[in-house]
Structures are given as C-alpha cells and as structure tokens.
Amino acid sequence: MTDYFRKKVHYEDIIATFDDVLIKPGYTDFSPNEVDISTKLGKYHLNIPIISAAMDTVTEEVMAIKMALLGGLGVLHRNCNYEKQIEMCRKVKFARSFVIEEVATISVKAKVSEAKYLMETYGISGVMVVQDDNKVCGIFTKRDIPFNEREIRHGYVKDFMTKDVISIKPGVKRSEALKMLYENRIEKLPILDDGYLKGLITKKDLKPEFPNASIDEEGRLLCALGLSPKFPESSQTQETLKELDKYVDIFFIDVADYYKKADIEGTKKLMKLLESDFVLGNIGTYEAAEFLLTKCDFSENFIGLKVGMGSGSICTTSIQTGVGAPTLFATAQVADAVKDYNPKITVIADGGLKNPGDLPKALSVGADLMMSGHFFAGCTESPGYIDTIQGRKVKVYRGMGSKEARASGFVSDRYIEGSKNLAEGVSAYIPYVGDIDGVIQSLKEGLTNGMIYSGARTVQDMKKVDIGIITPFGQQETRTHDLI
C-alpha cells in the first residue's frame, strides 16, 4: 500500500452498508408492549419513524395521505408542474379535515317528510335549514322528527326545527370546536359567516378514525413536498411557492448532493420567502453536516438533514460517478456531527433499506427516521398501474435520475445540470405487494422486534446499542442456507 493511499484512507472511513453490520443482542428489562417507536421531526410527532420518498413512482397524494394516517409521513414528489403540486398538497392537507364543506340543506318551506327522506337517503342525522336568500335560520335533526305520522306527512320543517342555532365562525381550531360542542352538549356545529353556511363540524368527525395519524396543530394531516433549492427569480413563481406554503408543513430540499454553495444560498432565500419548515439533503459526510450546522446561519425553519448518496435500489450515481455515501455510513457520519453541534436536528436515513431489519440498524448509528422508495413503490397506493409480467403482478419503479424521470424537465436540477446524457438511475419493475398497511405492519414488527432483541425501549435508546462488522461468510450464515 502506497503512502499516498494511506493518507487518503483511514480506518474511520470504512464505508459500511447495512449488510456489513449486525446489532449485538442486549439485555431486555421491559415487555414488548412497552416499546415506543415514535419519533420527532422538528416540532412534529410521528408515531412510526418511516417516510415514503419524494419519487414520482412512489408518493403522490394517495400514498401521502395513507402514510400520514398510519403515523408516518409521505413526501410528495416535484416531478410535475406547480399546479399539480398545489392540487396534491391541498388534497393531503384536507383529506381528513374535521370540517364538512358540502353540507346538506333544506328550505324552511319544506315539509318534515322531505327532510326525513333526505336524511334517510344520504345516511345523515340532520340538515341545515335555509331561507330563500340561503341564510341559515335553523337546524333540523332526527331528534326533531315528530312521533305522529300525520305531522310527519303534513307538518313543516319550520315548526319543528331548532331555531336558535349555536354556531362558530370560519377559521376555527379543533380545540375550540371540541370545547363548543362539549359546553353546549350538541353534536353538530355549523360554521357561519354573516349568516351564510361555510361548513359543518360534527362530534363524530372530531373523533379520530386513525388515532396514530401524523397531524398538525389543527388536526389536519401533515403535508410534505420535495422542493428545488434554486430560488426562482420571477415574482409569479414566488407567489406560486407562497400558495404551496399554505398547505405544506415541511419542504424537503430534493437534490442528490446538497453540499454545494449554490444550493445553500438558494435555500436561505427560500427560507426567508416561505414559513414552512425545511429538511435539507442529501449529504453523506461529517464535514458536510458540520458545515451546514455551523457555517450557513440557516433560519429556525431548518429542522432536519436527509442523508445517503447512491444507495437506492434504482440509483446508479456511485457507479456512474465513482462518488457516494451509502446510507449506513452517511447516517453514522452525519449523526456524529448533529450530536456535536445541534442535537435538535433530525437525521433521516434515506435509501438503501432492503429488509425490515435495516430499520433498527439505521437507528443504531444515529438515525431518527428512515426514508424509502423501494418499500413502497409496489404498493396499491403508489402512482401507476398494476401490470402483469410472466404471470406476476408488478408496478413501475424508477429512479429520479433515470432518463425517463428526467425527461419531464422538472427535476433537471436534482443532479448536475447539463449532464442530460448521463443517467444516474434506472427504470424497472418491482413486485406488486398490495396495500401499504401490510408493508407498514412488517416494517413496524421488524423494528420493534429488533429493539427488543437489542434491549432498547425507545428510538433514542437504539442509538446506544452496540454494532459489529460481519464478514462475508457471516452474512451467508445469517441468511437462509443449506436448503434443498
């Protein structure tokens, strides 16, 4: 080995991957139901430390909604125009809104029989009563239906409705609505603006169907979106970004290598323009994290770092360029810098995850969250059609650096601009795996069991467990072998 080579390569620079390590078993002094896999991303609480990647064959609104409902997060891709991005973000943000916007109404001149028929037909328990000018003058519920059959057939709504309607103004918070419903012992709370109906809140809709969902302060689903670090010079585009900002909780800067002066300067301008939080990435070394944490003077919107370069199953960056930072290595490097300079910053291990056991491994070297496209591209909720090849159901999965993905032109700045002929990803098929519920359940069980075996009760405890390098023969032994 030459002196020059020795100067370049150090023991701590062994670039290990998930397959190169195993977590050492630890002492467990708690029961399985005490394991807590929840984590934080800035001020937001996530009940599972799992994020679906901002890829156009992985996360659009259907995936993002389901990920948030299950307690994780889905990052919407940016490989489309701003109009579609706004549409996706709006759908996610209001997918489980506690405000019913399309409210059933009936005329004050209507008969009780009409109101009864309307409620039975649409399976609802009440209707808002409006005058000719569409202003609300009462509410008629099942409780107001008279017992006398003759009154039902010939009576009028105005004679049986509740006239003194308890209402609330637009812009109400979930906590305010709950308080109003409880204090007045009512189940329906109309939202009125100068007498006109703007929506309806019901006690039933305030009860969460998905108690572990990732939600904002107003009870709406968390919305995240991939974003270019390039600051737009046109005022029209800046206004469009402000429109997106209304629906997005967290912007994920979406480039293959973020450790660049132009990207950093562009991001600082974006942080001044937008109010949402920011996750920056991708990076892969201690030095890059140290620079971002100590030299860049980002605003308080900066909440996380996304790490890993070249590890994705459809990524060819390391092969094409000779440069990379596999996710396990990158996570360990960046987590050390975060621990040294700003422990409040969240570390997200992005890419390279192949098995449920890779999740506890990522946590063991300092990750707070994991991001993957591979796990979710074959789900029902991912974009695209289910195809059949040789009798097997599949879906298309492509890297954002593939020629097919870059052909749109929307992600040209995700890689080195101008390198149009050098693909840094591939487009292929991945097995169809069904609904995401089953995938998430497998990942949760793999993570939980890994934590139990290693003796870690929480995500933070996992960062304290010991790991070791495993030899190629050891890798063979840990897999199924010697079978017919």
Overall pTM > 0.85: no
What is the per-residue pLDDT for 245? 98
Cα-Cα-Cα-Cα dihedral of 396, 399, 405, 409, to 10°? 160
Tell whether the model's pLDDT for residue 206 goes beyond 70: no
pLDDT at 480: 85
Catalytic annotation present for 315: yes
What pLDDT digit, counting tens, does each position of 26-67 carry?
A: 999 999 999 999 999 999 999 999 999 999 999 999 999 999
> Which range has the worst mean pLDDT, 235-244, 316-325, 437-446?
316-325
Q: What is the mean pLDDT of residues 328-347?
A: 97
Q: Give the start-to-end residue ranges of the domains of the chain.
A: 13-96+211-478, 99-206
- Residue 219: the pLDDT is 82
Q: What is the pLDDT of residue 414?
A: 78
The residues with which 305 forms a beta bridge, in sequence order, are 280, 347
Q: What is the pLDDT of residue 205?
A: 65
Burial class (CB in 10 A: 0-12, 13-18, 19+), 120: exposed
The superfamily in CATH containing domain 13-96+211-478 is Aldolase class I (3.20.20.70)
Mean pLDDT of 129-135: 91
Tokens 């987590």 — which residue? Answer: 335
pLDDT over 80 (residue 428): yes
What is the average per-residue pLDDT within 380-404?
92
Residue (of 61, 63, 8) closest to 372 by Cα position: 63
Residue 314 has pLDDT above 60, yes or no: yes
The CATH T-level fold of domain 99-206 is: CBS-domain (3.10.580)
Higher pLDDT, 433 or 400: 433
- What does the pLDDT read at residue 87? 95
The per-residue pLDDT for 94 is 83
Q: pLDDT by residue (tens digit) across 348-388?
A: 999 999 999 999 999 999 999 999 999 999 999 999 999 99
- Predicted pLDDT at 295: 97
DSSP 227-274: E-SSPP-SHHHHHHHHHHHTT-SEEEE--S---SHHHHHHHHHHHHH-
Rounded to whole angstroms, the Cα distance separating 39 from 48 reads 7
Beta bridge partners of 168: 191
* Identified catalytic residue from 78, 89, 96, 315: 315
pLDDT tens-digit readout, 241-274: 999 999 999 999 999 999 999 999 999 999 999 9
- Mean pLDDT over 291-301 rounds to 97
Does 416 have pLDDT greater than 80? no
196-225 burial code (b ≥16 CB/10 A, e <16): ebbbbbbeebeeeeeeebbbeebbbbbbbb
pLDDT score for 400: 87
What is the pLDDT, as a whole number, of residue 194? Answer: 87
Residue 30 has what pLDDT?
Answer: 96
Q: How would residue 107 be classed by pLDDT, with cut points 50, 70 and 90? A: very high
- Axis-axis angle for helices 327-341, 286-294 (nearest 10): 30
Q: What is the mean pLDDT of residues 171-179?
A: 79
Q: Tell me how far apart the alpha carbons of residues 411 and 422 are, in angstroms, rounded to a whole number.
A: 14
> Element (H or E) spanning 214, and its range?
none
The pLDDT value given to residue 419: 66
pLDDT band, residue 90 (cuts 50/70/90): very high
Q: Is 414 an active-site residue?
A: yes
